[in-house]
Amino acid sequence: MLVLRVLNVVAPAYFLCISLVTFVLQLFLFIPSMFKDPSTTPLFSPALLHGALFLFLSANALGNYILVIQNSPEDLGKCLNSGRGAEVVADQPDGSRSPCSALPSTHFCRLCARVTQRHDHHCFFTGNCIGSRNMRNFVMFCLYTSLACLDSLVAGVAYISAVLSMSFANPLAFLTLLPHSISQFFSGALLSSEMFVILMLYLWLGIGLACAGFCSHQILLILRGQTRYQVRKGMVVRARPWRKNLQDVFGKRWLIGLLIPMLNVGSDYHRHKDK
């Protein structure tokens, strides 16, 4: 448990450090290198378009990240003293089970020390549980983090290709880039800044693919009306239309939330809470 608590603190700090490094590299290295002559740069140049795209992806990733943390799952354990709702059992830290107002899949998280509604999993990179209140923002966070990493990967490859006069037309060139770069770095033929960018390329690739896979799996579970906790516990879920399952998570204003970080005000959870 101590290791998990340490990871719960270190992982968000690690994510913020990677985000800061990516932001600095993009704005102060990759994008400026795309400008050949700033005085003759057209309004809709590829460099400006790339910069606008990166800022859009970064703003959505960071905005949804903040919303995931701020919109924490409600501590349903407090409802024991409020006397509202139907009685459902929830797992407690000592292994016992106590009644509480919640939907099925209610679970007590030892790290957060609270009972969450429709518990999916505990995300160490946000230091928070993922439940009915922040599921949509979590999916959007994974999606835009993946896109921002892949965007940085493409910009970084273009920068390394121009600086080192390399061609990546052959897919094997990227796979052999790291071992060749390490040998050149220790022989003094490669600058430390260039080696750092090359290491970041592989880090962006790993984070981008991991977030894309995680986001795809999460959407698949949402279409089925399931959570990771239900799958892990082997719980049977009542079959419902996939459109209804999507609406429960993303709400009716899903298109606005796809472009702008915002709370899911159109979901069934928030309509129930407003009542």
Residue with tokens 């903040």: 66
Answer whether residue 17 is part of any domain: yes
Answer whether residue 181 is part of any domain: yes
Residue with tokens 């949509």: 136
As beta bridge partners, residue 108 has 115
Answer whether residue 271 is part of any domain: no
Residue 8 pLDDT class (50, 70, 90 cuts): confident
Answer whether residue 123 is part of any domain: no
Q: What residue spans of the chain are helical by DSSP H?
A: 2-25, 31-34, 46-70, 135-163, 171-175, 177-186, 192-224, 228-233, 242-250, 254-259, 268-274
User: What is the pLDDT at residue 88?
Assistant: 41
The catalytic site residues sit at: 123
Answer whether residue 116 is part of any domain: no
User: What are 201-236's pLDDT values in tens digits?
Assistant: 999 999 999 999 999 999 999 999 988 888 888 888
Q: Is the pLDDT of residue 132 over 70?
A: yes
User: What are 142-176's pLDDT values in tens digits?
Assistant: 999 999 999 999 999 999 999 988 888 887 889 89
Mean pLDDT of 242-251: 88
User: What is the pLDDT at residue 38?
Assistant: 58
User: What is the pLDDT at residue 107?
Assistant: 78
Q: In this structure, how many other beta carbons lie within 10 angstroms of the beta carbon of residue 99?
A: 13
Residue 119 exposure: Cα atoms within 13 Å on the Cβ side: 25
User: What pTM did the predictor assign?
Assistant: 0.84
User: What are 44-78's pLDDT values in tens digits?
Assistant: 678 888 899 999 999 999 999 999 988 877 665 55
User: What are 81-122's pLDDT values in tens digits?
Assistant: 444 443 444 444 444 444 444 455 677 888 887 777 788 889
Q: How many structural domains is the chain composed of?
A: 1
Answer whether residue 117 is part of any domain: no
Q: Is the pLDDT of residue 258 over 80?
A: yes
Answer whether residue 6 is part of any domain: no
Closest Cα partner for 156 from 29, 45, 28? 29
What range defines the domain where residue 160 resides? 11-34+45-75+135-266
**93 compared with 33, residue with greater pLDDT:** 33
Answer whether residue 85 is part of any domain: no
Say which range, 15-24, 113-122, 165-174, 242-251, has the weakest mean pLDDT.
113-122
Cβ 121 vs Cβ 130: under 8 Å: yes
